[in-house]
Structure 1
Amino acid sequence: MSKVSAETGAVPSRGLLDRVFKLSEYGTTVKTEVMAGITTFMVMSYIVFVNPSVLSLQGRGLPPAATLTATALVAGVMTILMGLYTNKAFAIASGMGLNAVVAYQLIAAMGLTPAEAMGVIVIEGLIILVLTQTNFREAIMRAIPTELKRAIAVGIGLFLAFIGLVNAGFVVPGTPDTTAVRLGDLTTFPILVFVFGMMVMIFLRSVGARIHPIVGNAYLLIGILLTTLFATIINTTFFDRSAWSVPGVAQWPSSIISAPDFSTIGNVNLTGVFNKLGTISALLVIFSIMLSDFFDTMGTLVGVGSKAGYLDDQGNFPDVKKPLLVDSLAAVVGGFANASSATTYIESAAGIEAGGRTGLTSVVTGICFLLMMFLSPLASVIPAQATAPALVLVGWMMMTTLAESEETADEVEHTASGPRSTIPFGNFEVGFPAAITMIVMPFTYSITDGIGAGIILYTLIQIFTGKARKVHPGLWIVTVAFVLYFLQGVLDKYLI
């Protein structure tokens, strides 16, 4: 009997599925795998509605219905491929944080068209795909200090939370003679909808598991749907008071089921980013997104893999290139489909917690995502205020990288109330660059700027303190590249 079987006491399955997914070897059953796959889907399903909300840019970006179709399609196909190729219980969907980069940095701030922005995603995905087959991917990851890697994840979390607050109208632009941003008008119905959604999601996360396991796992999805219903009731009741109505919500469609909308799939421009931004800026933008993909995926595979028993006695992931290959391909497919970069989800741990151990779990999750393609009419009625609380909560989840549990971080000093920060902010050499990385991302609406500022500061401090030799050779190259990135405007004006 396998180690997993001894722990779970599961009776090995027999038949075709047992042979394909090695269920007996992993000590699991078809029923357990199916329920685990559904659990993972329920935890992740919010992305099908949040991703169209983010990428639509409230009417300035991609069409919501087509984006919902693309999001569900990519998640379904790539998660099934992950299960069949790796036989691991990992699930894939459009990455939170990366979709915000596409919408708010590439399209809104840099002026790229959606096709050009998705071209960036396809390019960075192809680069990662190539690097996955070499040792260069691991070399780049080793070049970045661990503290900055954690700061990048936290910074993206802050970025997402800030986007959620802005989309809700809770935070609004200030005036030139006051502040850059300020508290929004809290007397409006849109704010009421946001607060309602936040309260519902917090309540469901807090007590949902006691109500029913599905409620506890799907609290974001349920919260989004209940908040949309609440917003629809408000707009139906106060329809003649447009100043009080919730933007984006009019009337529910006559049917919530329709044929999938594939109109945006394949709408990609691979050269536009170079034409608009210049070669140096374009390459740095691609590189920064690639870094986010790197760290997010590796952290997820190790973290979730440890819960599933995939790691060996030394804490390494045997045959890790298989899930890395599928994850890299998912970035390319996500960009091609106009669903943004798809990546392995940390929420896969929910299905593993429910007993999932093999690729059958992923196949079930993928099938559930494919069925969501037929719900595209819902994308047009879900307002930003309904998905904004989910953005804030997902942002918080990403910030939890600042603390690790005692079981996984023995080297981290703990207080009586729990683990301390895994980033030593009191250490000026790494604490200050990490803090700047986290601060710059939300305030510039740019992950690229945050990563670049942190890396440049880290290298400068090492030089000033006489520790230049401590800087990894690869980091010198990255630092010089980011210096050129920030000086691109000067170079264009005076030298080009």
Structure 2
Amino acid sequence: MLEKFFKMKQRDSNVQTEMAAGLTTFMAMAYVLAVQPSAIIGFGMEQNFTDINGVIVSKAALLFMTALISGIVTLIMGLYANLPFALSTGMGTNFMLGALLQSGSLSFGNIMVIVLIGGSIFVLLTVLGIRNLIVKAIPKNIKVSISVAIGFFITYLGFSNSGIGNFEEGIGLGNFSDPNVFLAIVGLILIALLTLYKVPGALLIGIIVVTILGIPFGVTQVPEQLFGIPDVNEISN
């Protein structure tokens, strides 16, 4: 039934491959669940933020909503459009709006209105076919450069957070005696080799292996509990 609905044989795939691909995709993009709340209210230890109108916005509620929205739109993409694409929140926009929220320039309600208006306009442009015309009008070199720029930004975040790169005074190498750096490099080499030899789930295997290796090195923090329900008391806000 699944193969017939999703036309897997027609796409030269099967249930096992799609399950592994879905799990790999989740592992690769689950960072959004942690980054999204911090992008909105800050990367400090505080778990709540009170905006200029006195509305309390919590990281737990933002995490819950990010997971819920990501799940819903990904299901729509899979069940309606029949495409294996995972969707989530617009991180670039949220970083900008988060900065305005934290500085007191906008309230959380103002930000939600901006997101609603922007999303409505985007849907309208898509329905009317204008979005497609805009995409076609953009030169190919600019389209390619946008992808490259995003790739560089993600690489910068990875190198910066892992310690491989030092960006405090220009660009330099990090401390290669640091276990974080060592494991990051091992992970990159492992994933590259597995990809080279076309091993299915190369990215997922690399993530799992480095995570396990990180335990004796003190890099991977073993959680006290594997599952939990976030506090969503401020979800109505």
> Which interval holds the TM-score relative to the shorter structure?
0.5 to 0.7
Answer whether contact 1:69 1:262 (CA < 8 A) is retained. Answer: yes
Contact 1:171 1:184 in 2 (8 A): yes
Shift of 1:38: 0.9
Higher-helix-fraction structure: 1
Q: State the Cα deviation string for residues 400-430 of structure 1 (Å, max 9, x = none).
A: xxxxxxxxxxxxxxxxxxxxxxxxxxxxxxx
- 1:140 counterpart (129, 134, 138): 134
Tell me the distance in 1 between the aligned counterparts of 2:33 and 2:61: 11
- Mapped to 2, the partners of 1:60 and 1:118 lie a distance apart of 24
What is residue 156 of structure 1 aligned with on the other side? 150
Alignment correspondent of 2:54: none
**Within the alignment, does 1:36 sit opposite 2:17 as a pair?**
yes
Query: Is it true that 1:256 corresponds to 2:237 in the alignment?
Result: no
1:77 to 72, 81, 87: 72
**Residue in structure 2 matching 1:47, options 19, 22, 29:** 29
- Cα deviation for residue 203 of structure 1 reads 0.8
Report which structure shows greater RCO (CA 8 Å, sep ≥6).
1
Change in Cα spacing, 1:47 to 1:23, as seen in structure 2 (3 Å) is: closer
Judged with a 3 Å threshold, the aligned counterparts in structure 2 of structure 1 residues 145 and 158 are, in CA distance, closer, same or farther, namely same
The CA deviation at 1:134 is: 0.2
TM-score (normalizing by structure 1): 0.36
Q: CA deviation at 1:99?
A: 1.7
CA separation in 1, counterparts of 2:123 and 2:213?
Answer: 39
Residues 1:229 and 2:210 are matched in the alignment: no
CA distance 1:187–1:210, shift in 2 (3 Å): closer
> Cα 1:208–1:157, aligned 2, differ >3 Å: closer, same or farther?
closer
- Number of the residue aligned with 1:92: 86
Q: Aligned partners of 1:67, 1:198: CA distance in 2, in Å?
A: 32
CA contact (8 A) 1:42 1:221 kept: no
Unaligned ranges ≥5, structure 1:
1-12, 175-180, 235-248, 268-496
Q: Using the TM superposition, give the Cα deviation of residue 40 of structure 1 relative to its aligned residue in structure 2, in angstroms.
A: 2.4
SS in 1 for 2:228: coil
Displacement of 1:140 in angstroms is: 1.9
Residue segments in structure 2 that go unaligned for 5+ positions in a row: 48-57
Contact 1:55/1:100, CA 8 A, preserved across alignment: no
* Larger Rg belongs to: 1
1:137 is displaced (CA, Å) by 0.9
User: Any conservation in 1 of the 2:37–2:63 contact (CA below 8 Å)?
Assistant: no
Q: Which residue does 2:181 correspond to in 1?
A: 194
Provide closer, same or farther for how the CA distance between residues 93 and 148 of structure 1 changes in structure 2, counting only shifts above 3 A: same
Distance 1:224 1:71, change over 3 A: farther
Name the aligned partner's letter for residue 78 of structure 2. G
Q: Partner residue of 1:412?
A: none
| Alpha-carbon distance between aligned partners in 1 of 2:189 and 2:149, rounded to the nearest angstrom | 22
Check 1:196–1:65 CA distance in 2 against 1; reply closer, same or farther (3 A cut): farther
Shift of 1:257: 0.9
Contact 1:107 1:114 in 2 (8 A): no
Distance in 1 (alpha carbons) for counterparts of 2:211 and 2:60 = 16
Question: Within 2, Cα distance between the matches of 1:101 and 1:44?
Answer: 22
Instruction: Using the aligned pairs only, state the percent identity.
Output: 23
Kindly tell me: are residues 35 and 122 of structure 1, through their superposed partners in 2, closer, same or farther at Cα, counting changes over 3 Å? farther
Counterpart pick for 1:58 among 43, 49, 58: 43
Q: Which amino acid aligns with 2:152?
A: L
Q: Which amino acid aligns with 2:68?
A: L
Deviation at 1:229, TM superposition (A): 3.1
Check the 8 A contact 2:74/2:85 in 1, yes or no: yes
Alignment RMSD: 4.0
Q: Which residue of 2 aligns with 1:309?
A: none
Amino acid at match of 1:253: P
- Equivalent residue in structure 2 for 1:218, among 187, 191, 204: 204
Q: Secondary structure at the match of 2:80?
A: helix
CA contact (8 A) 2:25 2:86 kept: no
CA contact (8 A) 2:33 2:63 kept: yes
**Is the contact made by 1:209 and 1:217 (CA closer than 8 Å) also made in structure 2?**
no
Aligned residue in 1 for 2:50: none
Q: Distance in 2 between matches of 1:61 and 1:146?
A: 43
- CA shift, 1:145, in A, is 2.0
Cα drift, residue 47 of structure 1: 1.1
Q: Is 1:127 aligned with 2:126?
A: no
Counterpart amino acid of residue 200 in structure 2: P
Shift of 1:142: 3.0
